[in-house]
Structure formats: structure tokens, C-alpha cells
Amino acid sequence: DAGITQSPRHKVTETGTPVTLRCHQTENHRYMYWYRQDPGHGLRLIHYSYGVKDTDKGEVSDGYSVSRSKTEDFLLTLESATSSQTSVYFCAISKETGELFFGEGSRLTVL
């Protein structure tokens, strides 16, 4: 299963609070991604990383930051959560075949 784990899997928080989602992989893949999934919008890329400390913005990066201090960990941070950030967040890695393999998802609710 490409050894991807996301944590937490579910979180409820209040508007204005900081939130960090963690993605951990065990297979040393170079590329890692954070997507959000919302009804009618499919999956939209938030940020991606192409190596340790190498990250870049995706389509919907406003309000999000990321960090990758180790190959195996890719963190997504919402500095001050808003209700519009209620979503399901998927981490993914890119395999050598080109296939994107997704984690199980983290469901975030911002009240």
C-alpha cells in the first residue's frame, strides 16, 4: 500500500485555531502531495514537495503552508483554520511508474 499513513484521520476544530496534518511514508519516494477533496471539485492540489525542504504551491494554496524536513514526513499546516477549509485532505506519493498513490485521508471539520 506504498506505506502512507495520515494523522489525524478525523479532527474537529474551531475557527481561528491552528491545525497540522501529518503524512508519513516508508518507501523513500521523492515526490509528495497534499490534495483536498470537496463535492463537485474533485481533488485539488494544495502544495507539493519534490525533496527535503523543496516545496511549491498548487492550485489552492492560500491559507495553507507545508514543511518537509525529512524525506518521510510532509506536514500540512492551517495557520488559522476557517470554515471554508472543512474538507477531506489526501496526501499522495508519486511512484516511479507515474502512479499517484493516496493515503487514507484526513477529514477536517472547522466549526
Q: Which is nearer to another protein, 48 or 64 (CB)?
A: 48
Residue 40 touching another protein (CB under 8 A): yes
- In the chain, at which residue ranges do the beta strands (DSSP E only) sit? 4-7, 10-13, 19-25, 32-38, 42-51, 54-57, 64-70, 73-78, 87-94, 100-102, 106-110
Return the bridge partners of 75, or none.
22, 67
- Count of C-beta atoms within a 10 Å radius of residue 69: 10
CB 105 within 8 A of CB 8: no
Residue 41 touching another protein (CB under 8 A): yes
For residue 92, the minimal CB distance to another protein (Å) is 9
- Candidates 28, 42, 53, 62: give the one binding another protein (CB under 8 A): 42
- Candidates 11, 43, 63, 77: give the one binding another protein (CB under 8 A): 43
Interacting residues with another protein (CB under 8 A): 31, 33, 35, 40-45, 48, 50, 58-59, 90, 94, 98-105
